[in-house]
């Protein structure tokens, strides 16, 4: 076998090895980034699952300007008042949508912690909020969906009729 052919084969083998190592490096880097992304998604899901609620009852009467709802913390973590106040309430019917933020001037909503077992002022798992929706206008006879969206996007809803 001529020497030139051997050198060519060695050169091709070295080039192929370098290309394979580069591709393996790119693959491992991409695999690490995919793993990091998956880890972040799992952490976000865990965070969202830590907070939950369930509307146990909602009541509104035709032509009243207020609706009441009682909401249980079904999550795994307590929620401080500052974060409860960052929640949003939506009351929707076929014809209109009331989007309410926490506040004292209608349209808004307020809350009272009904069974603060440990008297810490935080909405602990198992405790109930009484939410008052102040619409600022009479509520016509209709079927409604009431949705509470917590500060992190988790939420709960129920139906009610006036």
Domain range for residue 30?
A: 1-50
d(CA 135, CA 137): 5
Residue 62 sits in the same domain as residue 124 = yes
pLDDT at 142: 95
Q: Is the pLDDT of residue 47 over 80?
A: no
Write a three-state SS string for 126-142: CCEEEEEEECCCCCCCC
128, 56 Cβ separation under 8 angstroms? yes
For residue 89, which of 14, 19, 5, 150 has the smallest C-alpha distance?
150
Q: Is the pLDDT of residue 17 over 90?
A: no
CATH number at residue 114: 2.60.40.10
pLDDT at 4: 65
Residue 98 sits in the same domain as residue 134 = yes
Identify which has the larger pLDDT, 18 or 139.
139
pTM, two decimal places: 0.72
User: Domains in the chain: how many in total?
Assistant: 2
Residue 140 sits in the same domain as residue 92 = yes
Average pLDDT on 64-77 reads: 95
Residue 156 sits in the same domain as residue 124 = yes
Q: Is the pLDDT of residue 1 over 60?
A: no
Average pLDDT on 53-78 reads: 95
How much is the mean pLDDT over the chain?
89
């Amino acid at each position: 076998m001529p020497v030139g052919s051997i050198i060519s084969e060695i050169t091709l083998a070295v080039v192929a090895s370098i290309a394979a190592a580069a591709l393996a490096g790119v693959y491992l880097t991409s695999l690490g980034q995919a793993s990091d992304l998956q880890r972040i998604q799992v952490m976000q899901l865990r965070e969202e699952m830590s907070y939950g609620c369930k509307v146990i009852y909602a009541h509104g009467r035709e032509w009243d300007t207020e609706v009441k709802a009682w909401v249980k913390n079904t999550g795994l973590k307590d929620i401080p008042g500052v974060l409860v106040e960052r929640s949003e309430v939506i009351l929707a019917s076929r014809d209109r949508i009331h989007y309410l933020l926490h506040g004292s001037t209608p349209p808004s909503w307020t809350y009272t912690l009904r069974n603060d077992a440990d008297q810490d002022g935080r909405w602990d798992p198992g405790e109930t909020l009484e939410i008052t929706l102040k619409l600022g206008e009479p509520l016509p006879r209709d079927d409604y969906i009431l949705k509470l969206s917590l500060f992190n996007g988790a939420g709960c809803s129920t139906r009610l009729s006036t």
